[in-house]
Chain A
Amino acid sequence: MTVATEAPPIPAAEPAPAEPTPGAARDELLIILESGDLERTWGTLIMATSAAASGMKVSIFLTFWGFYPLVKPGVRITGQNWMQKMLSFMNRPGINHIKMSRLNFLGMGPWMAKRLAKSQGVALPDELLAVAMAMGVRMIPCQMTMDMFGLTRDDLIDGLDEPAGAATVMEKIANGVPALFI
């Protein structure tokens, strides 16, 4: 006697919805910020503010390590369990404390980069974040990251969109919105 161990068939995906409206997404930009590195966050904010200044509707989906810039200044340790707390201890949250991916040197790297930027009239990440939000750039926090890092809405800066998931992002991409994954 043989026992059938076959897994139930995986149902086929629903057919794709009707064609998106042509041109509807032409003036929109989506940025998925996954990196928490200073240089990539900085570049993301420069692109986002430039796009908003060029009349585009910009959304940034902040996920995984890219989420830390959304934590309020002054919030030091986040999370409920020791692993979440340890994670925030090792990666100090907040836009002013993100590290460089290379040459961080315990904060010497970012300190020098910011000093150089100031002397050359380059706006700093915290200034650009404020400008972006004032220009209507939508910040979409990733719900899964919030849960994983143990973050609550009280830990986050004001003016953010409702937390959402990857499907929200995919709807935009399915409608033809150009997307950058950083």
Chain B
Amino acid sequence: MTTETIHRVDARGLACPMPIVKTAQAIATMSSGELLEVLATDPGSTKDFVAWSRTTGHALVEQDEEGGVFRFLLRRK
């Protein structure tokens, strides 16, 4: 079984534009193909991460919500 390293950003409690800003800053330090998990509580982030993924080309692999916390899994292009 192979385990993949997942980078993490905790943007809970932060409002626009900081979840996207922190995500962009984190992904800039990663290598192509690596995964990044972002946690956020900003309801606007559900739309923003979809748009940001289209603009930048980093794939939004998974997106879900649990107890008001949104989780986004991105793969660096």
Contact = CB atoms under 8 A, between A and B. Distances in A.
B15 A52 contact: no
A142 B19 CA distance: 31
Interface string A126-137: 000001000100
Nearest to B24: A53
Contact of B25 (A55, A120, A135): A135
A50 interface: yes
Contacts of A117: 15
A49 B14 CA distance: 14
Contact of B21 (A50, A55, A122): A50
A5 B20 CA distance: 64
B50 to A, nearest CB: 13
A135 B21 contact: yes
Interface residues of A, number: 14
Interface residues of B, number: 16
A131 B21 contact: yes
A2 interface: no
B33 interface: no
B15 A53 contact: no
B55 interface: yes
Q: Which one of A49, A52, A53, A123 has the highest number of Cβ atoms from chain B below 10 Å of its Cβ? A: A53
Given A54-B24, A122-B16, A131-B21, 7 more contacts: A50-B17, A53-B21, A53-B25, A55-B55, A121-B41, A123-B14, A135-B24
6 shortest A-B CB distances, which residue pairs? A53-B24, A50-B17, A122-B15, A121-B15, A54-B55, A121-B14
24 contacts: A46-B16, A49-B17, A49-B21, A52-B21, A53-B17, A53-B23, A53-B25, A53-B52, A54-B20, A54-B24, A54-B56, A55-B24, A55-B56, A121-B13, A121-B14, A121-B15, A121-B18, A121-B41, A123-B14, A123-B17, A123-B18, A135-B21, A135-B24, A135-B25
